[in-house]
Structure formats: structure tokens, C-alpha cells
Homo-oligomer: A and B are copies of this chain.
Amino acid sequence: MSTVSPDMAAKIIDGKAIARSLTEQVGRDVAAFVERGNTLPGLAVVLVGNDPASEVYVKNKALQTHRAGMRSFMHMLPQSTSQAELLDLIADLNANSQIHGILVQLPLPAQIDPVVVTNAIVAHKDVDGLGEINAGRMALGIDGIVPCTPLGCLKLLQSVHTDMQGKHAVIIGASNLVGKPMAQLMLREGCTVSVGHIHTRDTRALAREGDILVVATGKHGLVRGDWIKPGATVIDVGITRVPTEHGKTRLVGDVAFEEALPVAGHITPVPGGVGPMTIACLLHNTLQAALLAQNVVSRPDQKV
């Protein structure tokens, strides 16, 4: 209907460029850290089973860790691995002083409880920030390791807003991985925070209140143009592969991008928005974990 003039269109938040810049910064900080006589930061990535998507993610994480000048350890276990075997490996990695971060790729095979495994990683090496101690630190406003995807979203928001205090942040999706930690981060920034989800009665009306709108539902195209407050900053965490007319496939987000473009003030594209930030934040968290390891004795979780 309406054509988009350059004045009307939202500014696109270039996640790829911001992630590259963060990755380069981590690389420089790693070099400086090592120059000060510290051990090279090391990340152990654990994959159980043969899920092809997980294999790609894990290889990519390992490769980028290596490129940022850190040590990268890969542990690929068979689909039949028992929970006890995986917990033994984690105990070894917890005790290994060359390893500062441990990441167990999810999902895990059915015989393994992901909650038990995640919480077996000692808090100061939990670079995914998904264990109960880091979740608790975030809930209480204590310094800890922040999960990679919400941290990436925050950094994208910070590229637009120097101060978010008093803004209304609306988060659609209440998962442990994104929505819930994102709500905590936005409260920490001084935002009024609303969280909507599958049981929300009028998600459109809620979304329209957001000066900041973060969408993480996995339902592609859920958020239409008229769900967005004019001028809002929109962060689209969703990523789904859909078929195109020409028999190929393409990646799309939870936000109907073309409709959102003339309404939003700033918006992340899919792909090239939140996605690239997640690995960059993993590298950032691994370096943070190596820094934490210098103060090991003062952290309560070190008793474990």
C-alpha cells in the first residue's frame, strides 16, 4: 500500500557489524590479558549426539573462539552417552585450570536432564549463563554471567540508546533462554518492563506500548506493522527457515519486517541482527570468565 520513503523507514540495526566490532574488541582484550602474564582463556564446547544444526553451531563457536585468540576444546560424545558420563566430563572440565568456560550444546538426548547438566557446570565457568546461580545473580542484580542471546540484544539496544531509564520495554516470549533474562536486564536498565506470552490476551495492544519491543517467540511473522508503537526500537530474536515461492528457503524473524520498517524507529533484520551477536557474546563471556578466575577465592560458588 504505502511506499517507504527513506525518511519514513526505520534505521536498520546492523547486528553483523556490531558483532564484528565486539569480536575484534574481545580479540584485543584477550591479547592484552595474555600479555599481562595470564593463562590463555579457554572454552570447552560439549556436543552430545549428531544433530546437524547443533554440529554447525558447535563448530562455528569453536572456530570463532580460536580466531579471537583463545584456546578452544571440543568434546563430541555419542548419542548414547549417559547422564553420569556427561557429568563426569563436566567435573573434569570444572577442575581443569586451562578451561575458563564450559558450554554444553542444547538440546541434549532424552536420557539426559538438561537442568541437572547445566547446574553441574561451576557458576564461574557457566559462560552460557543458564545455571541457577547465574540466573539468581541476575535476578538479584549481583554481577554474574549473563546469557549470550539477551546480552546480545542488550548490546544492540545500547547501540541505539545511551540511556533506557523510564522507557517501556515490552518483551514477547517468556522463555528461560531469552524472555525472562531479558526482562531482568531491562529492569536493571531502569525500564518499565512488561512480559507477554502465549497466554497473553491482547498481545498486539501490549506490544504497541513498547518504546522497546523484544520479540522471542519462534512464531515467524507474528508481530505485524500495527503491533509496533511508531518510532519504537524493535529487536527480533526469532529465526525460522521458511520455503520461498521459487522452491528455495529463507530465514525470517518473528516480526513482519516489511510492515515494521515504516513504523519502527530502529529494527534488527533477520538474518544479520541478533544471530551474529550470540557468538560474539559467548566470546565476551569466556573472556569475562577468565577474568573472574583471577578472583576465584572471593566467589561463593568456588566452594563447590
Chain A 255-277 interface residues, beta-carbon cutoff 8 Å to B: none
Given contacts A136-B136, A142-B115, A201-B166, contact A192 B194 (CB under 8 A): yes
Distance to closest chain B CB from A144 (angstroms): 8
A174 CB–B CB distance under 8 Å: yes
Alpha-carbon separation in the docked complex, A168 to B199 (Å)? 10
Of A179-187, A238-246, A284-292, which stretch is located at the interface?
A: A179-187
Q: Is the CB of A192 within 8 A of B166?
A: no
Identify the stretch in A38-46, A68-76, A127-135 within 8 Å (CB) of chain B at 4 or more residues. Answer: A127-135
- Chain B residues whose CB sits within 8 angstroms of the CB of A187 once the complex forms: 174, 180, 195, 197
Instruction: Report Cα–Cα, A206/B191, bound state, in Å.
Output: 13
Residue A300, interface by CB 8 Å: yes
- B120, B132, B139: the one within 8 Å of A180 (CB): B139
Interface residues in A150-179 by Cβ distance below 8 A to B read 165-166, 168, 174, 176
Interface size class of A (residues with CB under 8 A): 35 or more
Residue A53, interface by CB 8 Å: no
A50: Cβ under 8 A from any B Cβ: no
Question: How many protomers of this protein does the assembly include?
Answer: 2
Q: Residue on B with the closest CB to A303?
A: B304
Closest B residue to A179 by beta carbon equals B187
Contact with A196, one of B135, B137, B140, B192 (Cβ below 8 angstroms): B192
For residue A304, which residues in chain B have a CB less than 8 angstroms away from its CB?
A: 303-304
* A119 at interface, CB cutoff 8 A: yes
Could you say which of B141, B166, B180, B199 contacts A166, with CB atoms under 8 Å apart?
B199
A132 in complex: contacting residue of B140, B168, B192, CB < 8 Å: B140
Q: Please, how many angstroms separate the alpha-carbon atoms of A295 and B73 in the complex?
A: 35
- Show 16 residue pairs from A and B whose CB-CB distance is below 8 angstroms, ordered by the A residue: A115-B142, A116-B300, A130-B140, A132-B133, A133-B136, A135-B136, A135-B137, A135-B140, A139-B180, A165-B199, A183-B195, A187-B197, A190-B197, A192-B194, A192-B196, A192-B201
